[in-house]
Amino acid sequence: WRCHGDSRRRGALRQLARQRPAWRPRRANGLLDGSGGDWWQRCPARTCKLLYQSWIKGQPVELSERLQGLLHDVLKDVGVASAHCYRAFVTFSFHPVSAGISWLPLGSLVGIPATFSAAEDRQGIVNHIVVINDKEVDWESKEGHALKDALTFSLEAQKFAISREVVYLQTNSPIIKAAVAPTCLAGTFISAVAIKQHLDLYSSPLALRIIFNLFIATIGLLCYHFASDSVSRSLDYRADRKAAAISKDYARGGVEFYDKVLSRNRIIRALMGKQGQRVYAPSGNLFPRNVFRLKHASFTSRRDLIINILNMSQELEKSD
């Protein structure tokens, strides 16, 4: 996947690339996120498109009629009334990306991977160049064949991947995430004032008040990290659950999507060598950067959630 941009875009993307293990295309000044993290969903819509727009020969890749129709079908299945508030563009990442708030004037952006144009067609994958650790992937090798399979999604899996981004935006998840920090800050401040008044610490020595404030600030920071991670995982599960509940086809697509994400990560782990072993678990999940934090739900738990939804649906049908 080739993308070209101005020097400011290249500088910003290089800085991001240093911060996390990444896939990148040959001669590309961009970042292919192999982790499935959703940090971009907190970015403004313009920033998201600036970072993830797919480019070719200095021009942005135009959205094909197939991808436009795919987004239209997903919006219809999800039940979005104001479909005009959702705009799509072609992204060079392997996962759909999204940003913005649908009911704001700028609306929402949904980035659809260029690989989705090669639905169930491995030749469309082979026509592109993928570089890992500065080495081009050999599509004829054992790993190359496995990677082709992991990057080729069925129509149902593509619809699920896009629908969970639409559901994520439709349920105001970016706002909920953004509200965690000010809520924790306000709670910490109010608690500190109330406790100091109750214990009459305002008349105590300055050194004691400083120690108390540092203690409360530490507790507040820990509460913020715990709340932020819990909310993030909850929103991940909610988006998957609502997307899988659209229909059985979407649920099956969700299982396939996460199965192939895990498979792809295992292949990346093998190709990256020791660095891959530090980033990816043998199962294909991501190792958390901080042992005390788990910012996102694991891919295996998301897949298992959808499998449970499918099993429950089948049991209900049998009981009827």
Q: What's the pLDDT score for residue 123? A: 55
**Sheet strands (E) in the chain:** 55-56, 59-60, 86-91, 97-100, 108-113, 131-132, 135-136
Smallest CA-to-CA distance from 299 within 285, 280, 282, 283 is with 285
Pairing mode, if any, of strands 97-100 and 86-91? unpaired
pTM here is: 0.80
Maximum CA pair distance of the chain?
76
Q: What's the pLDDT score for residue 122? A: 55
Confidence band (pLDDT; 50, 70, 90) for 15? very low
d(CA 118, CA 70): 13
Q: What's the pLDDT score for residue 187? A: 95
Note the pLDDT tens digit of each residue in 50-97: 788 888 778 888 888 888 999 999 999 999 888 888 989 888 888 898
Tokens of residue 73, six digits: 């079908």
User: Is residue 153 within 8 Å of 264, Cβ to Cβ?
Assistant: no
d(CA 237, CA 314): 21
